Amino acid sequence: MAKTLLIVDDSATMRKIVMRTVKMSGLDFDKTEEAGNGVEALEKLVAGPVDIMLCDVNMPEMSGTELVKEVRKLPDCESTKIIMVSTESSQELIDGVMADGANGFITKPFTPEKFQEKLSPFMN
């Protein structure tokens, strides 16, 4: 069954790279949306929840870690799978964001195989 995806990153270039890499990984998404920061992402999620959210950690206005906490407060987004995408990969950061409700973590640079590995468990 096709799924919906939301890519959250303050860099438009990175959003395009992520989108391209997702396509290269062969994962089938019915609809893909983008958000340039945490606030924009929340607005989109309130309007309509998504199945999977790929989220940058370092963003202005609202960081990825704050966004995860906010998303988990939304009743309609309980089943949304959140995968963090970041160059930062300290154990403290990863443990913290996982405890707050993220479902996975991908470090940059990434490959289509990495997306395949991390996202495919949530595609069924």
Partner 1 sequence: MATSLTGVQSQAIGLSKDAFDVFCHDISGMFGVGMECKQQENTAETVSSLTERFKKLAAVNSVKAEGAMDGTFQLIFDQEGLLILSGIIVMLPSTNILQRIKRGTVTDIDGMTDAIKEVGNMLVGSWDKVFREGLEKHGHFVQTDTFIGNPWDDPQEKIGLGEDGEFLFIPYQITIDSYPAFNCGVIFPGAVFDKTQTEEKIRAEVRAKLEAEAAEKAGLEAEEKTEAEEKPDLEAEMKAAIEAEERARIEAEMKAEAEAKMKAEAETETKSKALAERKAETEKKAEAEAEAATDIKADDAGTTASEDAAEPQQSETPESTEGTEAAEDAEPAEDAEPAAGAVSETIQKMVESPAGLPGEHFQISLATCAKDIMQTDVLWGNADDSVQQATEKMQQADVGHMLVGTEGLLDGIVSRSDIASAVSVYLKPMFAKWRRPTDDATLQIRIKWIMTRPVQTIKPDTSLAEILKNMRQSGVRCLPVVDQQDKVVGSVTVFDIFAALLSGDSGTSTAGKTPQAPPLE
> Helix H segments across the chain?
12-24, 38-47, 64-71, 91-100, 112-119
The distance of closest approach from Cβ of residue 21 to partner 1 in the complex, given in angstroms and rounded to an integer, is 6
Binding-site member from 23, 63, 70, 101 for partner 1 (CB under 8 A): 101
Binding-site member from 19, 62, 98, 123 for partner 1 (CB under 8 A): 98
Of 72, 62, 63, the C-alpha closest to 100 is 72
> Nearer to partner 1 by C-beta: 29 or 105?
105
Token pair for 101: 């409700």
Subset of 3-22 contacting partner 1 (CB under 8 A): 11-14, 16-17, 20-21
**Cβ(86)–Cβ(107) under 8 Å?**
yes
Q: Which stretch binds partner 1 (CB under 8 A): 34-42, 45-53, 59-67, 108-116?
A: 108-116
Residue 23 is a binding residue for partner 1 (CB under 8 A): no
Residue 95 is a binding residue for partner 1 (CB under 8 A): yes
Task: Strand 81-86: give its sheet, edge to edge.
Answer: 29-35, 3-8, 52-56, 81-86, 104-107
- Helices 91-100 and 64-71, axial angle in degrees (round to 10): 20
Contacting positions for partner 1 (CB under 8 A):
11-14, 16-17, 20-21, 72, 78, 86-91, 94-95, 98-99, 101-113, 121
